Structure 1
Amino acid sequence: MEPLPAVQDGRGVAAEGRPRVPQTQRPGPHTGGVEGSFGRVESRGRADPERLPGVSKTQMMSRAPNQDGPEETGWRATAHNLNLNRDYTKANAPEMQAMLALLRDWDPLVCADIHVTDGADFEPDVSIQVEPIHLGDPQLHATGIAMRDALLGKLAAQGSLPLPFYPEPVIVDDPASGFQVTEYIPRYSTGYFPTRNRYTVLVETHSWKDYATRVRVSHNAIVGLAELVAAHSIEFRGYAYSRDLSPISGEPVTVYDPTTPQIWRVPYRGSALAHRTRAARRLPGAQGVCASDRRQAGPARAGPPHVEAQRRPP
């Protein structure tokens, strides 16, 4: 897996020096989704700080105001009848407005959304869908595929039968109709994060599996994802800093404290990519002048071969 690539408007490290490793969130609207929260808490408590530097400091978020344990599971909507897993673009719910403000402040590179499947019964116990792969900037797809495949490998090594797609029959309740890749619109988290040039990991444990299995698999997915991101970061000797909103621009401003050394655990982008390319074509009789430059170039003058003088525009 290559290092996480450069993305637009990334800020590297969050306030208070916390590294931008995966922020795990649980949707709550799905019956049984509470195991994602238990797996998340268990993962945080067992994180090995030497094996996963900074993971114990990972900010964990939950958006499940209508979920109250595995017995009182609630339903897909809040008390205002708003489904938070359909509210990323409209942001009608105050809970989603708070979530989006938190995402804007932290700007995580990778987020995980922990769900439970609906519908059919089968052997696989978890599916992993990562975007951008089918959505978003094509330059991010290769890393998304590598992250998905690496996480699938980790889960398989721990006894799971993971899938790279959501196992919903093409025709509802007809297994013989087969399966298809799902491309999510931005109202869902899986479609929303690619619009921000960020990665999202949709974890769907299988609702027909027993509760202990779903907690274990959720735990394995969260820790495995944290391991992948932590493995592709570097330790950089910096200073403590804070990020507050500027009273002038309203945007976050970094203020450093040079009296307090601090280790930053941040992604390292070790390769360079062309931001823009253009194919050059020669004009008949021209030497060293491409078509796009001809409008600004003067007539050819005598000189060394393959050299042409150009007149600077006024």
Structure 2
Amino acid sequence: MMLARDYVQKKELRRQLENVTLVIIPIYNVDGSLVRNSTTRANQNGPESYGFRGNARNLDLNRDYIKQDSRNARAFAQLFQRWQPDVYVDTHTSDGADYQYTMTLIATQKDKLHPVLSQYLTQRLLPALYGGMSKRKSPMTPYVDFEGRTPDARGLQGFLETPRYSTGYTTLFNTIGFVTETHMLKAYTPRVRAQYDFLDLLVRSVHQDAAALAEARATAQEQLRTQTQFPLAWAIDTTSFEKISFRGYEGKTKPSAVSGQPRLWYDRAAPYIRQINYYNTFRPTVSVTRPRPTSSRRPGVKCWNACA
């Protein structure tokens, strides 16, 4: 809402909306937002109170986009299909390991995207966003998802956001998606600032690249009409990786005050910058062939192998 306020009130920012239409859902989980507390995520660093992730029926809306058990998810689908956005953003706060970054990012998994959109995402949009965040003194890293004991032990792996997640759902319709994950152990004010900076940079990038983005998505949509093979499941390729610079803290062990057993902790007095592996290539494991249209018994009507 801070961003919306500034884009409305500040003349120098309004120019960024000449090629961009913003559609904002201020609160998605209306029920959960009213359950104010400060304990459901005990080690989150502010604000003083926040909502609960379950709605009134205790459904986790972050996993409901494709199955749509909730009215929230069905309302989202209606809004999304009406606007058919070129880019979608879902803002989150993340838990997990400790590291130096305030902002981590899940981008639509590149191998699930149409190749034209994947090329635009990886070669133009992501470099602009990562570079822009660094220039604003808020360096960003891919979402910290890893298999080893600490992020630097075996490296990070890309997050495969299947359609139960918002960006997995939107990718089904050739919409590039982002989930911003600010780090819960950072103070609330820097988290808000990082979200603001990312969203502002995204608007500026889309404004600048509006024609290229629109052309890429139009190409993807047109080619989708004649596509015959559709991957349904993917697996990570553990032989393919790139090196990225990662700013973390040394992972150490100490006796737990509760059990007395060794437990992991991150020593903020021992920061590091290391080159680590980033595994972000996925290969299809299950694909289906599009059924061929067959003629209906009704003149002028075609159906997909299921006409009565």
TM-score of the superposition, structure 2-length normalised?
0.59
Deviation string for 1:61-105 (max 9, x for gaps)? 131321257333222211101111101110110011111100011
Check 1:268–1:89 CA distance in 2 against 1; reply closer, same or farther (3 A cut).
closer
Q: 1:58 aligns with which of 15, 22, 26?
A: 22
Please say if residues 127 and 204 of structure 1, whose CA atoms lie closer than 8 Å, have aligned partners that are also in contact. yes
- Matched with 1:160 is 138
* Alignment partners' CA distance in 1, 2:219 and 2:117: 13
* 1:49 correspondence with 2:14: yes
Structure 2 unaligned spans of 5+: 37-46, 227-308
Q: Distance in 2 between matches of 1:178 and 1:184?
A: 19
Equivalent-residue separation in structure 2 for 1:46 and 1:167 (angstroms): 36
- What is the SS of the residue equivalent to 1:156? helix
Instruction: State whether residues 109 and 158 of structure 2, in contact with CA within 8 Å, keep that contact through their aligned partners in structure 1.
Output: no
Residue 90 (structure 1) aligned with residue 67 (structure 2): yes
Offset of residue 39 of structure 1: 4.8
**1:268 positional shift:** 5.0
Contact 1:43 1:223 in 2 (8 A): no
Q: Is the CA contact (8 Å cut-off) linking 2:145 and 2:159 kept in structure 1?
A: no
User: 3-state DSSP class of the match of 1:108?
Assistant: coil
Contact kept in structure 2, 1:151 and 1:221, CA below 8 Å: yes
What is the SS of the residue equivalent to 1:49? Answer: helix
Which is bigger in relative contact order (C-alpha 8 A, separation at least 6)? 1
CA distance 1:63–1:267, shift in 2 (3 Å): same
Q: CA deviation at 1:111?
A: 0.5
CA distance in 2, matches of 1:107, 1:268: 14
Following the alignment from structure 1 to structure 2, what is the Cα–Cα distance between the partners of residues 45 and 190? 27
- Please, which of 19, 29, 48 is the counterpart of residue 71 of structure 1? 48
Distance (Å, rounded) in 1 between the aligned partners of 2:177 and 2:186: 24
Check 1:168–1:227 CA distance in 2 against 1; reply closer, same or farther (3 A cut). Answer: same
Query: Whole-Å Cα distance in 2 between the matches of residues 270 and 219 of structure 1?
Result: 26
Match runs of 1:109-258 below 5 Å: 109-145=86-122, 146-163=124-141, 165-171=142-148, 176-233=153-210
CA gap 1:81/1:87 in 2 versus in 1, 3 angstroms: same
Which stretch has the larger CA shift, 82-91 or 66-75? 66-75
- SS, match of residue 182 in structure 1: coil
Supply the distance in 2 between the matched residues of 1:91 and 1:50 (Cα, whole angstroms): 37
Aligned to 2:232: none
Structure 1 unaligned runs (5+)? 1-37, 235-265, 277-314
Alpha-carbon shift at residue 138 of structure 1 (Å): 2.3
Which one has a bigger Cα radius of gyration?
1
Identity of aligned residues (%): 26
The answer as to 2:75 corresponding to 1:103 is no
Task: Pick closer, same or farther for the CA change 1:177–1:186 going to 2, 3 Å.
Answer: same
State whether residues 128 and 148 of structure 1, in contact with CA within 8 Å, keep that contact through their aligned partners in structure 2: no
Residue 23 of structure 1 corresponds to: none
CA contact under 8 A between 1:147 and 1:228: conserved in structure 2? Answer: yes
Q: Which residue of 1 aligns with 2:299?
A: none
Deviates more, 1:117-126 or 1:70-79: 70-79
Contact kept, 8 Å, 2:86 with 2:214, in 1: the verdict is: no
More helix by share: 2
Equivalent residues of 1:132, 1:198 under 8 A apart: no
The aligned counterpart of 1:9 is none
Q: TM-score, normalised by structure 1?
A: 0.58
Q: Structure 1 pair 46/113, CA: closer, same or farther in 2 (3 Å)?
A: farther
